[in-house]
Amino acid sequence: MKENRQTLLALAEKTVAYGMKHSDQIEVLIRNNFEISAEIILGEINRTSKSQEAGASIRCVVDQRLGSAFTNRLEQSILEKSVKRAIAAAKASTSDSTWQDFPQPKKYPKEPKVWDNKIPETDPGVFVDMSTTMIQQTKQRDPEIIFGEGGAGGFFGWTAYANSNDIAISDRGTGVYAYAAFVTPIESGMTPMVWTIDVNRNFQLDLDYVVENTLKDVHLAKNSAKGKTETGTVIFNASALDKLLTYAFMPAIKGDNVVREKSMLADKMGDMVASKILSFTDDGLKENGYATELFDGEGVARQKTPLIEKGKLRSFLWNNYWAQRHGGITTGNATRNLRTGVLNIAPTNIVVPGGKRSQEDMISDIKSGYLINGLQGAHSSNQETGDYSVVGNPAFRIKDGKLVGAVHGLMLAGNAFEFIKKAEEVGSDVRAYLSDGGGSIIGPSIQFRNIQVVAKAE
């Protein structure tokens, strides 16, 4: 598989050399990714597939005018034609007086261990067998459960980046995943759909965990519980917390919003912006992290960036362009849309350290509260003010230290910047979840106090 990296890197370097004859600056990012999967729909294998996504994004600069082009054909002649299109786009665009340069070469860290030779060689039948195993395990444990959707799969690919400042680097990555989503009949219709996913960068999946955890939640959801409108205690698992952070808090951490004065945290560096028990780190090199890779969308080395330490704001996230405009240094958080060439800023793996007590122990101390394992509507949060109004789904009622059932339509409202100041305990149940922000969140359940919830009266 080494030749794939070498081939892509050679293409990128040749394209840069060609582009330098006709433009002031140029960068090329090339990806060649594959996915193999088996899909479950309503308890049966619905289909298997093997797909490829290949493409090159090219950006050229002419007199501080930036233009981009995309092609999904990785041939030298086609790449050179794409360079011409990027140059034409640059000449037709408006000059950007703030433009400085593409990234400069710097030392890269040790290559992260996110490659497993077995995965590119795996037959789709292996993932069919995994999916079949989950179906059979579910039927054996509870024949009434409806296996709504799920499946298993693997992904692998290579990336190369080169620019006119002599950066030339390549990377590779693999991963596997399995997931299950269940519902079951109840008197009022159906339970909320509950789901579990396991993702690993090497060929190790815990199918038992996927099935057992999903069964646990759907069995609890069979019992309907009434809640009450109150300002009370809630426990969020890391997946639910991720949704709130992604849409209502993390935009304020992104450097472009800081420069454009759209961040509520722009002048809060070093201040207490969260509970003192909370720490968040963006770790693009985290072992086994879903978003772990050697470099970002601009060829800049990924790194570990403390964002919040014991409640204090320590850093924002930057790509090269916005860091230069701010007079700082990129944190290696550029993400690129290959087709449009647009560069944004995004977190990689958000890591939240765990505490000492289990989720069960935290629940045992709560007289009245809620466990939130998922959220709906977080994407409608106000990204500038942090105001949110969401529905907990699934949301489970806690009474006298026990989970008693699912609360349907439980609403939570408030402000994300105030919300994270109300954390009072961090659990020990650290797990990795895929993030709505495109990477992953690796963290525990967290208990919050004085959170506004709205439910039907008991």
DSSP string, 322-385: HHHHHTS---S-EEE-TTT--EEE---EEE----SB-HHHHHHT-SEEEEE--EESGGGS-TTT
Classify the C-alpha dihedral 254-258-261-263 as positive or negative: positive
DSSP strand pairing (440-443 vs 349-351) = parallel
User: Same domain for 346 and 379?
Assistant: yes
User: Same domain for 117 and 189?
Assistant: yes
pLDDT for res 77? 97
User: Same domain for 181 and 246?
Assistant: no
Distance CA 36, CA 49 (A): 6
Please say which residue of 182, 201, 219 terminates a domain: 219
Distance CA 458, CA 456 (A): 6
User: Same domain for 243 and 205?
Assistant: no
Q: Mind listing the pLDDT tens digit for each residue in 137-154?
A: 999 999 999 999 999 999
CB 313 within 8 A of CB 243: no
pLDDT for res 455? 86
| Domain of residue 110, residue span | 2-219
User: Same domain for 337 and 425?
Assistant: yes
pLDDT for res 2? 54
Distance CA 54, CA 30 (A): 8
**Residue of 252, 300, 278, 302 whose CA lies nearest to 439:** 302
Q: How many domains does the chain have?
A: 2
pLDDT for res 457? 57
Low-confidence ranges of the chain (pLDDT < 70): 1-3, 456-458
pLDDT for res 216? 94
pLDDT for res 3? 65
User: Same domain for 321 and 266?
Assistant: yes
User: Same domain for 284 and 418?
Assistant: yes
User: Same domain for 268 and 295?
Assistant: yes
User: Same domain for 302 and 185?
Assistant: no
Please say which residue of 219, 241, 269 terminates a domain: 219
**Residue of 282, 302, 259, 240 whose CA lies nearest to 108:** 302
Please say which residue of 170, 185, 219 terminates a domain: 219
Distance CA 26, CA 59 (A): 6
CA distances from 330 to 285, 322, 347 (A): 16, 8, 13
